Chain A
């Protein structure tokens, strides 16, 4: 790799091993070069982005399209519990729900993954044995990310050791906002390495990045560093997932694939509670990144209460009338 010849290149040399995709091979050769690259990405006009999602929000998804969207959304859910009060019992109950979301209808698809803190990844793994449902664990001193690199990497290794298939890491927002992009990059590369074969989702925590320009830069940074998914939020900060943010991230993965040939997934998380919200996101995916992203391999919802609303709407489509909250399970 050429960049190690540059004296102002990465500190902590040797930790950076992820090969950069072809057209961007040298953008991380120095802090200045990386900043120039990220700041050279086209800007995002906030008003225009909001207008675009507003128009797409008027799409009317009915009958067969709605049925497809609901089942697809269910299959994209990362069923999540991230509380201090989480117990093995709670995780097992969530895992049972993940396997069979609607106990009254075996035709209902399972969700994509169960997302827990790292110490409970082993419990989840066991409870989901024999299924294709993935275990996702948050790591890297989630949600704040305020810990030393060593602690973060140990956190990742521990979760992977417990059997996590996917790691949801948080970026160092402090470093990002201070303009130390290379630090953020390097950390993601190191985490990716610690993941081994586990998939890496990079949480940008867009509610703390605030501007859409920053969201686009952080998205590119995370993709260049080897993230398999870019994810909006931890769910602990408001606002969490918003449609304009998701739009910008979808544009980023679309452009990144066009430039490098590598496809990266997107996961909005936090604040998506209703079927209507979920369908709006699917429309956004369909008309921004395209149909290639309409699969749980490339698009996920980080959510907890969303699943029950999807199930209620699904029952309504099937039976023609709304049931009540007691027709879906409380977890």
Chain B
């Protein structure tokens, strides 16, 4: 206990009006769904927030037909500059209603309000602003003089960044002239439905954006619908594989953004205090529910003890608890199912011989929680060094030379991201060019920007999102 105890500073939830029921958003209207409704829960309290309709095959079909109609009659033929205006309007509305979105995201997802307020929502708006600018400049995207939209995009997004992943999917699709049917994650549908209200507020033509909540079945209906031209998925590698199988042999275009097991490499000349911050940000940002999380810490052996000691001291200052408190650093685990998976994998860590460390402190009695956890004495053969935990669990390994660091960093079936910490510019350039990962951060981690393409190698998926490269997923060049 510090003599300086921060009094509770809860963000007010009165800004957002969570309705007891939500429907599907199809063709510009909220409608009933014919699937079994789902209950969405606040993971920090286990309180039921709302009952949400889900989409059956027929509902998905209705949504795809609405999207097709909007594509052929309105959105496709529209002047590109006018499409841009709608996107700018949506971006501005996201900013105007930012607090509402942040509070709702935190209630539904369990992430700290500081992150939803300072990261998720501003970045979501930034993605719309960025792509709004592209709408009338597509001939400069490097895809030929007159690239054309693909048609209807079926998009399935995960629960870790519900609104942000929606923005990553919807903004480029719309900017390129496509219409979308989007399925939010089963446990976090609420901000997508609030986004549907924003679409109405922006007078977006009906059918351009359709949102159909549901579980795996609904997702399957979206991606396998014959009139969908393009499938975009972010989520687990396992589901991604089944989607690739389902889409194989059709004319659908596919992008997948899947799991990761990123290496965060700390050299002995690293700026230690900032590296420690970066390690914390790499693995404890969003409770580690981040596909590009820096879950494998590779530390040069000569500084291992110092770095681990500094890291543990820093983790001791992390504030774990009520996600609505503005001073919380680590919130709730999104679902009981995910908590069970984290527990299962960390149990392997101990039985396989790694040393587990967690800070002192109590977790809240209700809700789903997991303490920030550091495993040392981890061998590259251990499951916690190979499997994606998708939780606040860090595995620490050592290396002796830059070559060994690169070899160990690349020794994974994934390849989404990596980080490197060194004060030596030439080493940074040399190591980053050898890392097989879609995103490599130098002296920072988990830094995102709509201008920067994001995507993976190997089982982390294919295709890029964001930047000029991301547009290619939603356009066909001249051929």
Contact = CB atoms under 8 A, between A and B. Distances in A.
A binds B: yes
Nearest to A72: B4
B208 to A, nearest CB: 36
A72 B269 CA distance: 38
Given A44-B271, A44-B274, A48-B277, A64 B3 contact: no
B271 A45 contact: yes
A48 B326 contact: no
Interface string B1-26: 01111111100000000000000000
Interface residues of B, number: 24
A177 interface: no
Contacts of A51: 277, 444
Contact of B272 (A42, A47, A61, A290): A42
A58 B114 contact: yes
Contacts of A42: 269-273
Contacts of B2: 286, 290-291, 294
A38 B384 CA distance: 39
Contact of B327 (A60, A63, A282): A60
A69 B2 CA distance: 13
Interface in B328-363: none
Contacts of A52: 273-274, 277
A45 B274 contact: yes
Contacts of B270: 42-43
B4 A69 contact: yes
A282 B274 contact: no
Contacts of A65: 4-7
B96 interface: no
A237 interface: no
Contacts of A59: 6, 326-327
Contacts of B8: 62
Contacts of A282: 4
Contacts of B3: 68, 291, 294
Contacts of A72: 4
B443 A48 contact: yes
A49 interface: yes
Contacts of B114: 55, 58
Contact of B9 (A62, A69, A251, A294): A62
Contacts, number: 75
Interface in B429-450: 443-444
B369 to A, nearest CB: 21
B431 to A, nearest CB: 17
B271 A68 contact: no
Contacts of A86: none
Contacts of B7: 61-66
B4 A60 contact: no
A331 interface: no
B206 interface: no
A197 B321 CA distance: 47
Contact of B317 (A43, A66, A251, A287): A287
Contact of B269 (A43, A44, A64): A43
A101 B263 CA distance: 54
B278 interface: yes
B84 to A, nearest CB: 32
A267 to B, nearest CB: 18
A180 to B, nearest CB: 24
Given A60-B326, A60-B327, A45 B443 contact: yes
B4 A58 contact: no
Contacts of B6: 59-61, 65
B47 interface: no
Interface string B272-302: 1110011000000000000000000000000
B271 A48 contact: yes
A104 B400 CA distance: 65
Contacts of A283: 4
B118 interface: yes
B197 interface: no
B437 to A, nearest CB: 21
A59 to B, nearest CB: 5
B423 interface: yes
27 contacts: A42-B270, A42-B273, A43-B269, A43-B270, A43-B271, A43-B423, A44-B273, A45-B274, A45-B443, A47-B444, A48-B278, A49-B273, A51-B277, A58-B114, A58-B118, A60-B9, A60-B326, A61-B6, A61-B7, A61-B9, A63-B7, A68-B3, A69-B4, A251-B273, A283-B4, A291-B2, A291-B4
Interface of A: 42-45, 47-49, 51-52, 55, 58-66, 68-69, 72, 251, 282-283, 286-287, 290-291, 294
